[in-house]
Amino acid sequence: MTTEATPAQPASADVKQPGPTPRELLERLQEISPAFKECRPLALRIDKAVMERFPDVDKKVVRTAMRMHTGSTRYLKALEKATHRYDLDGNPDAELTDEHRAHAAQTLKERFAEVAKRKREQQKAEAERQRAEQAEQRKAEKLQQLMQKFGSR
């Protein structure tokens, strides 16, 4: 079986070229949009406006980028304190409901509680490791003392 090199075929209209990653899209949005740059609460359904501005970007990439942005601690903190939502151009779009602010506050509370729990568990595991290490060291010292006491006879 021989493998022959085939000439490079031109990209057809059917084949989509790889677009930006969600992180790259967020960086582009931060460059062009005050709402993203200043991490303001976004207008509902802003993903449609993003897709209109970036028609070459896959819908899944847009949704992933929006999930990353709106799930960030910085965004949730801004959402918790804000009174309005903003469009891509940074203009106020709609009032922010108390329900949305409360949800952001609850999400932050749960996130911080989880971080604190993990930190406590790590500290507990570290303390247990140190106790076991100290017990092993005491055991080795006792054994050494016994060897010195009874080994010379």
pLDDT of residue 153: 56
- How many distinct structural domains can be found in the chain? 2
- Has residue 121 got a pLDDT over 80? yes
- Position 7 pLDDT exceeds 70: no
Query: Which one of 96, 114, 135 terminates a domain?
Result: 96
Domain boundary among 73, 96, 119: 96
CA distances to 81, 98, 102, 128, 134 from 65, rounded to whole Å, are: 22, 25, 23, 41, 49
Nearest to 40 by CA among 4, 1, 3, 90: 90
Inter-CA distances, 152 with 29, 73, 114, Å: 79, 66, 57
The CA distance from 42 to 62, in Å, is 14
The pLDDT of residue 133: 94
**Domain assignment of residue 123, given as a range:** 100-153
Angle at 128 between CA 125 and CA 131, to 5 degrees: 155
Same-domain pairing of 90 and 150: no
> pLDDT grade, residue 13 (50/70/90)?
very low
Spatial distance between the Cα atoms of 90 and 135, rounded to a whole number of angstroms: 62
Task: Examine residue 49 and state whether it is found in any structural domain, yes or no.
Answer: yes
69/116 same-domain check: no
| pLDDT confidence bin for 17, thresholds 50/70/90 | low
pLDDT digits (tens, 9 = 90+) for 65-119: 999 999 999 999 999 999 999 999 989 989 999 999 999 999 999 999 999 999 9
For residue 147, is pLDDT > 90? no
Q: Both 89 and 23 in a single domain?
A: yes
pLDDT tens digit string along 28-52? 999 999 999 999 999 999 999 999 9
Backbone angles phi, psi at 147, to 5 degrees: -65, -40
- On whether both 133 and 119 belong to a single domain, the answer is yes
Q: What is the pLDDT at residue 150?
A: 85
39: left (phi over 0), alpha (psi -120 to 50) or beta: left
